[in-house]
């Protein structure tokens, strides 16, 4: 099969339209929202009007019916301008809509997907706990079946899109019993906001993604109908791993977009800033730095798009997703760090976007599995 690196016409139009939107609507307010740690309902609704939620969902449930490459392009272009808004889109699709789309019953899909795809609401994915981060198997949240209801007790932390005015509910992974081998049985359960015993609390004081909504979740004898089980009982761990595979692609896309935005800012400054009688980019040390940045971004984009290409063709993509997430996130950190260095002292001031790119890049090495966890995943794929 011949290799084809060209995007189709629809994908090219999508990139151009999302880039124009990000430049016109997000960029003018990104710095202020970051400073105020303010989640923007108006921006989220505008992104919904652009069709940025439910991009890979069938039109039968009011999604866009696009391929995964198109979705990743959209996340990349938003992240090129602002990581916070990209996080809202990425988590809204991969972590919120994704599990419902892939594992929900037809009744659950009809109930939730149209609203989520229209951007009338957001949905969270409750996995991480205070003592269960990389060790997702260390979850303590439990759900006990009592008649026709699940009774949930426990807590979650660092959950995106779970405590803002648009939040409709969360998918909660909980221990629902024991397997035959004695290990915990994990299942995923849907919990709507307003359910008695369920509380979501906003988290503030973040280093990065300050305009993205992050929450702590508390469940105290929280009762939901038995039919709120997502998929089959005991499939929760499998659903979580598959969801993280897709989530890694969106985090990788955020790294790619962050790196692209930081590179462009660094290049522009190096072309305009004059020292010792010539632009910074004319000094070999800076020119080589920019050359390395451009090369790493090109490599990252090729790896990311290949992983999405595999997914779109329903071929195994777990290894490539881990590689793409690892490489794109670490490239984002290196490129944004170089961009700050090129700006000198100005790069440390909030007046310049590169300081925000550097802050936002750090979470990409932690969220959806740390860089260390990605290396574990990759090493297992290669037989170690």
- The catalytic site residues sit at 368
CB contact set of 40 (below 8 Å; sequence gap of 6+):
29, 33, 85, 211
Q: Is 194 helix (H, G, I), strand (E, B) or coil?
A: coil
DSSP secondary structure, 135-190, as one string:
-GGG---EEEEETTEEEEEEEEEEEETSSSTTEEEEEEEEEEEE-TTSSEEEEEEE
Report strand pairing: 167-178 vs 122-126: parallel
**DSSP symbols for 25-90:** IIHHHHHHHHHHT---HHHHHHHHHTT-SSTTS-GGGT-----HHHHHHHHHHHHTT-HHHHHHHH
Which residues lie closer than 8 Å to 277 by C-beta, 6 or more apart? none
């Amino acid at each position: 099969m011949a290799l084809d690196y060209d995007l189709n016409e629809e994908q090219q139009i999508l990139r151009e339209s999302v880039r124009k939107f990000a430049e016109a609507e997000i960029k003018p307010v990104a710095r202020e929202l970051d400073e105020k740690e303010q989640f923007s309902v108006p921006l989220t609704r505008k992104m919904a009007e652009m069709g940025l939620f439910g991009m890979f969902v069938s039109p039968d449930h009011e999604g866009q019916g696009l391929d995964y490459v198109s979705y990743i392009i959209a996340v990349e272009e938003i992240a090129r301008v602002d990581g916070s808004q990209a996080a809202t889109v990425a988590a809204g699709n991969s972590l919120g809509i994704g599990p419902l789309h892939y594992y929900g019953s037809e009744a659950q899909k009809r109930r939730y997907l149209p609203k989520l795809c229209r951007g009338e609401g957001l949905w969270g994915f409750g996995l991480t706990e205070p003592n269960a981060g990389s060790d997702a198997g260390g979850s303590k949240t439990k759900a006990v079946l009592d008649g026709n209801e699940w009774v949930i007790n426990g807590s979650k932390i660092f959950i995106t899109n779970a405590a803002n005015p648009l939040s409709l509910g969360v998918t909660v992974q909980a221990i629902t019993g024991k397997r035959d081998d004695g290990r915990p049985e994990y299942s995923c359960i849907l919990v709507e906001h307003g359910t008695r015993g369920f509380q979501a609390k906003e988290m503030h004081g973040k280093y990065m993604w300050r305009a993205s909504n992050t929450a702590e979740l508390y469940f105290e004898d929280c009762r939901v109908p038995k039919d709120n089980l997502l998929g089959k009982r005991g499939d929760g761990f499998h659903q979580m791993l598959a969801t993280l595979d897709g989530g890694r692609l969106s985090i990788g896309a955020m790294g790619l977009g962050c790196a692209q935005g930081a590179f462009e800012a660094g290049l522009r400054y190096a072309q305009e800033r004059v020292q010792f009688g010539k632009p910074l980019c004319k000094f070999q040390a800076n020119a080589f730095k920019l050359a390395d940045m451009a090369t790493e971004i090109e490599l990252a984009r090729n790896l990311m798009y290949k992983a999405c290409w595999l997914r779109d063709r329903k071929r195994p993509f777990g290894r490539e997703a881990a590689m793409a997430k690892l490489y794109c996130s670490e490239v984002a950190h290196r490129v944004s760090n170089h961009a700050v260095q090129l700006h000198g002292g100005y790069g440390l001031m909030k007046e310049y976007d590169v300081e925000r790119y550097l802050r936002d890049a750090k979470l990409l090495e932690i969220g959806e599995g740390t860089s260390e966890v990605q290396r574990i995943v990759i090493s297992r794929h290669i037989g170690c």
